[in-house]
Amino acid sequence: MNKHLLSLSFLLGAALLGPALAAEPSAPKTNAFFAFCIDTHDAKKRNLEQQAALLNELGYDGVGHLWLDNIPERLKTLDAAGLKLFQITMTLDITPDKRAYDPKFKEIMPLLKGRGVQFVLLMNGLKPSDPAGDARAVEIIREMASVAGDSGAQILLYPHSYMWMEKIEDAVRVADKVDRTNVGVMFNLCHWLRVTKDRDYKSRLAKAMPRLWAVSISGADEFDDKPGWEHYIQPLGRGSFDMAAFFKTLRQLGYTGPIGLQCFGIPGDARDNLAESIKAWRGYWAEMN
């Protein structure tokens, strides 16, 4: 075949393949990225509409919502901005003879049908990591999973330092006992750094993978013995913790779920933190791609 026929063959092949050959290089493949706790310390005290506009402007995929109030307004403002409500954080108390959770949980469920929202549970009632609470927790979580089932919502066990559900190991243990298809766990970097002495996150993430449906991150220092969150919750890109290695581990393990930016307690204008963090986020993924 002479060079003219080769050229014709290539052109015909390109035509059959469609516009893919001529397309611009695609953006780096990333997990969905949302922000949460953005309204707890924002110096500008933005309302829900302003928060949605800011997240949309900066390029976030959506937001996490604290507690069960103002859900209709949150949904309306996110829908208008083309963003997703990823999570709703709520509390659960396993203390016997106490109300376990806010009844609004059932009331708002029809609003969430088909939205794929994750309910993140902060769990208290006994001393941290005490397995004596497992049976009561399993009973409550199964009830909540049934309530959430028709809407397509998920229930995520959220390890939080100093609470009963304190470690990722606790979350995996209880989720396995619950054994429901819409109950999983969330790995929270800042709380893991606080309560775990070693820095072996890979083995814990690997064990959690069958039920690991969300991960939260922040800029952080490797170690911090001081109270408070100044060093474990920073804008992304800051701190001595090797975030690039953490992202690579998530990719190696095959994690494809959403990743939330923890913003609790960061002072100043939320715009500054969010802009700095998403710039760093894009940088990490560009390096991996």
Closest CA to 205 of 155, 162, 257, 278: 257
Mean pLDDT split into 10-residue runs, the chain, 289 residues = 41 40 49 95 96 98 97 98 98 94 97 98 96 97 97 98 97 98 98 95 98 98 90 97 97 98 96 98 93
Within 13 Å of residue 127, how many CA atoms lie on the same side as its CB? 1
Q: What is the structure's pLDDT at 19?
A: 38
Measured CA to CA, the distance from residue 156 to residue 258 in angstroms comes to 13
pLDDT given at position 41: 87
Written out in words, the top-level CATH class of the domain with range 35-288 is alpha beta
User: How far is Cα 276 from Cα 273, in angstroms, rounded to an integer?
Assistant: 5
For residue 197, the one-letter residue type is K
* pLDDT tens readout for residues 11-57: 434 343 443 333 344 445 789 999 999 988 899 999 999 999 999 99
Domain boundaries, the chain: 35-288
Rounded Cα distance between 68 and 106, Å, is 10
Check residue 70 and give left, alpha or beta (phi > 0: left; psi -120 to 50: alpha): left
Rounded-to-integer distance, Cα 180 and Cα 111, Å = 22
Nearest-CA neighbor of 94 among 67, 121, 124? Answer: 124
Q: Write down the pLDDT at residue 50.
A: 98
Rounded distance between C-alpha atoms, residue 52 and residue 37, angstroms? 13
pLDDT of residue 32: 98
Following CA atoms 124, 126, 132, 135 in sequence, which dihedral angle do they give, to the nearest 10 degrees? -30
Answering whether pTM is above 0.85, one says yes
- What pLDDT score was predicted for residue 28? 53
pLDDT of residue 63: 98
